[in-house]
């Protein structure tokens, strides 16, 4: 399974990390890390777990990243010209609502982690906030 694009998108969009930062945390060169994102290097389970730890998420989140995003997007843009209007009778409502709750929870966790990281950076640079 190729997951390099998932890793790259999480790093850039959700975490706003530089390649060099992640590479340093993994103890590898930036080029070696780029090879992971470009699906040149085969990703081991251990390396996936290390990346997930850096991103503060689960390996499963990385593996299912694009699929989860697609489900969320399709709920709001269902290609039936609804222009983003929520139509709740498009299928099993409980499953759809549960998916939205799960994604909302993941987004909230991601933002809390980002805030904690920013606070740590401010503290490490002796900046009052």
Q: Under 8 Å CB-to-CB from 32, ≥6 apart: which residues?
A: 23, 41
pLDDT, tens digit, 9 for 90 and up, residues 79-121: 555 555 555 545 555 567 788 888 888 888 988 888 988 888 8
Under DSSP, the state recorded for 91 is S
Q: Any idea which fold 1-63 has? A: 434 Repressor (Amino-terminal Domain) (1.10.260)
Tell me: pLDDT of 50 over 70.
yes
> In angstroms, rounded to a whole number, what is the distance separating the alpha carbons of residues 84 and 76?
5
pLDDT, tens digit, 9 for 90 and up, residues 2-26: 899 999 999 999 999 999 999 999 9
């Amino acid at each position: 399974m190729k997951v390099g694009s998932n890793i790259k998108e999480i790093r850039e969009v959700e975490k706003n990390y530089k390649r060099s930062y992640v590479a340093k945390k993994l103890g590898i060169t930036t080029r070696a890390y780029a090879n992971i994102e470009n699906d040149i290097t085969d990703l081991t389970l251990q390396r996936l777990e290390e990346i997930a730890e850096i991103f503060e998420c689960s390996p499963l989140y990385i593996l299912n990243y694009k699929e989860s995003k697609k489900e969320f997007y399709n709920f709001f843009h269902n290609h039936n010209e609804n222009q983003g209007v929520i139509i709740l009778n498009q299928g099993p409502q409980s499953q759809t609502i549960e998916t939205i709750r799960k994604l909302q929870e993941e987004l909230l966790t991601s933002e809390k982690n980002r805030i904690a990281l920013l606070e740590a950076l401010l503290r490490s640079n002796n900046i009052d906030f």
